[in-house]
Amino acid sequence: MKIDILTLFPDMFKGVFGESMVKIAREKGLVEVGFHNIRDWTHDRHRSADDKPYGGGPGMVMKVEPVDRALSELKEKARGSSDPEVILLTPQGDPFTQKRAQGLSTCEHLIFVCGHYEGFDERIRSLVDMEISIGDYILTCGEIPAMAVCDAIIRLIPGVLGSEECLQEESFQDGFLEYPQYTRPAEYKNMYVPEVLLCGDPKKINDWRKTQALERTQARRPDLVDNK
């Protein structure tokens, strides 16, 4: 998979994309990530990527021209391969879910556009294929949502995780939250691992995990159960 990220702050991604499973995925050649400064597609001496909003109001608005130029150049470079899917990170977008992550993990090429400032020129929406939100709250920039979305997608690429079984039993994978997990020691400060997990009977353990997953989902996220 190839991922291109259009951002005003490419250095923000260095730590996140240089550690843990994302780093391993890049080293294995399973994903190629490019960080592109939107200012590189501006033409004025101040490299201005924003301007005051028409009609007045607070803050600055990201300009459409440099984003359009950047996307055109990246798409031109990708010509001959599969068309990239262009994604805008915005609180007005569709909620990001595990199902959406699974779908995007099968794409060959993704381009993320990170918003900033007070917002972005409305015409930028016409340049993208989808808009994604990671929650009903406001962040200072789209870089943090881009990191979260990329992490969720990259870990689903075959070969990134050591065991594919890890993916099959995670929260949201089958529509429920994950069951409780325990490890050694079996007792800690009068807190005990459930006896069923120590019995060695795979069927009993599996039945217990399914029951726990359902009960936990009903208690913490009843909306997931209601949607089934």
222 burial (CB, 10 Å; 0-12 / 13-18 / 19+) is exposed
The pLDDT of residue 167: 61
The pLDDT of residue 118: 73
pLDDT digits (tens, 9 = 90+) for 143-178: 999 999 999 999 999 999 876 655 655 656 678 999
Please tell me the distance from the alpha carbon of residue 226 to that of residue 190, in angstroms, as a whole number.
36
Distances (CA, A) of 116 to 106, 145, 163, 190: 28, 12, 37, 50
The pLDDT of residue 161: 86
The pLDDT of residue 172: 67
Q: Which numeric CATH code is attached to 169-226? A: 1.10.1270.20
Give the mean model confidence (pLDDT) for residues 109-127.
92
The domain spans of the chain are 2-154, 169-226
pLDDT digits (tens, 9 = 90+) for 3-53: 999 999 999 999 999 999 999 999 999 999 999 999 999 999 999 999 999
Strands 61-62 and 50-51, bridge-based pairing: antiparallel
The pLDDT of residue 133: 96
Banded model confidence at residue 81, pLDDT cuts 50, 70, 90: confident
**CATH superfamily placement of domain 2-154:** SPOUT methyltransferase, trefoil knot domain (3.40.1280.10)
Please tell me the distance from the alpha carbon of residue 184 to that of residue 202, in angstroms, as a whole number.
19
Give the mean model confidence (pLDDT) for residues 123-138.
96
pLDDT digits (tens, 9 = 90+) for 183-215: 999 999 999 999 999 999 999 999 999 999 999
Q: Is 222 a residue whose pLDDT tops 80?
A: yes
Give the mean model confidence (pLDDT) for residues 79-90.
92
Q: Is 116 a residue whose pLDDT tops 90?
A: no
Measuring CA to CA, which residue among 67, 94, 108, 73 is closest to residue 149?
A: 94
